[in-house]
């Protein structure tokens, strides 16, 4: 090959290489993260409203603490929603999860069928629930404020409500949304509504100096957080924004509830949830932002929160 032809061929190769170098690379599609969540039925599960139909999120709703307890050891789910005392205790024991945020706060009320509540309840037996859980510990903490009241313990708030509605008990410890459901059933057979004898959050504030107490919290699997912290933050932001939006916009809440199958969260009456949602004390707060509230409440359970047990 002549030098002229060789130079021409070289120039052609250089031009092709130059054009190839200038051509923008095809952007890669962002990887869609798929996350799994296990949560107890009731108010805490409603923090997941905006993830209910997300194809990349698997949600398992369970009754009772057994499945939640097992998951802290199995570490198969990316996120666990659990009572804060149970979650902190087990996450520190297994070291598979870290406390990330509080989702629900104080939501306990002592209701009675008589309006003269203070005198009426004294000496009475009250249908209560959660003896070894948050309700029982709060009641134990407030024993001086609730002096003269006897409690009979049931397995669930639904059972306590049923005992009260049956007329077998004159008073009960209830929480939203069951409180709103109980009111609806009560009105079917009574002209007058029952009374709120005690707001346990007010009693807690008077005794502890803290406005309320954390109940259910979000725990993240350490391996999930370490694999992609940015995606975890984005995922949990959906939960935070959902709670904020529906706490402040009843119309948006109503529309969203009509869009999804609420039975997957354990609720059969969407209209009652629309009425009760904004009374459930859902409020997303990072654990690192409310450590004093958490640590103070955990003393009731004789649990100390270790530094490595929560997301900084």
What pLDDT sits at residue 117? 61
- Phi first, then psi, for residue 198 (nearest 5°) are -140, 135
pLDDT digit string (tens) for 264-279? 888 889 999 999 999 9
Lateral strand order in the sheet of 150-154: 150-154, 125-129, 171-174, 109-112, 195-199
Torsion, Cα of 95, 239, 236, 42 (10° steps)? 10
Reported as a pLDDT band with limits 50, 70 and 90, residue 231 is: very high
Average pLDDT over residues 74-95: 97
Reported as a pLDDT band with limits 50, 70 and 90, residue 140 is: very high
Instruction: Give the residue, 229 or 1, on which the prediction is more confident.
Output: 229
What the chain holds in terms of domains, given with CATH numbers, is 35-105+214-309 (3.40.190.10), 109-208 (3.40.190.10)
Reported as a pLDDT band with limits 50, 70 and 90, residue 121 is: confident
Instruction: Give the residue, 65 or 109, on which the prediction is more confident.
Output: 109
What pLDDT sits at residue 162? 97
């Amino acid at each position: 090959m002549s030098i002229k032809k060789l130079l021409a061929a070289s120039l052609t190769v250089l031009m092709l290489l130059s054009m190839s170098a200038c051509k923008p690379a095809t952007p890669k599609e962002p990887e869609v993260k798929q996350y799994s969540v296990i949560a107890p039925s009731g108010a805490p599960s409603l923090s997941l409203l905006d993830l209910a139909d997300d194809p990349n999120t698997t949600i398992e709703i369970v009754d009772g603490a057994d499945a939640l307890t097992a998951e802290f050891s199995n570490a198969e789910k990316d996120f666990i929603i659990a009572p804060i005392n149970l979650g902190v205790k087990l996450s520190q024991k297994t070291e598979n999860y870290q406390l990330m945020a509080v989702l629900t706060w104080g939501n306990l009320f002592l209701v009675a069928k008589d309006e003269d509540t203070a005198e009426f309840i004294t000496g009475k037996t009250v249908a209560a629930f959660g003896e070894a859980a948050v309700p029982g510990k709060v009641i134990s903490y407030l024993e001086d404020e609730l002096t003269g009241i006897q409690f009979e313990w049931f397995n669930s708030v639904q059972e306590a409500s049923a005992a009260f509605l049956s007329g077998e008990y004159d008073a009960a410890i209830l929480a939203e949304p069951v409180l709103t459901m109980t009111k609806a059933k009560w009105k079917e057979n009574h002209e007058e509504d029952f009374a709120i004898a005690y707001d346990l959050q007010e009693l807690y504030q008077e005794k502890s100096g803290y406005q309320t107490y954390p109940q259910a919290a979000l725990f993240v699997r350490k391996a999930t957080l370490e694999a992609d912290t940015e995606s975890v933050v984005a995922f949990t932001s959906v939960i935070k924004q959902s709670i904020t939006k529906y706490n402040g916009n009843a119309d948006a809440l109503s529309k969203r509830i009509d869009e999804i199958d609420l039975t997957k969260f354990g609720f059969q009456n969407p209209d009652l949830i629309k009425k009760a949602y904004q009374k459930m004390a859902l409020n997303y707060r990072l654990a690192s932002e409310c450590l004093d509230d958490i640590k103070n409440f955990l003393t009731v359970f004789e649990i100390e929160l270790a530094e490595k047990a929560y997301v900084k």
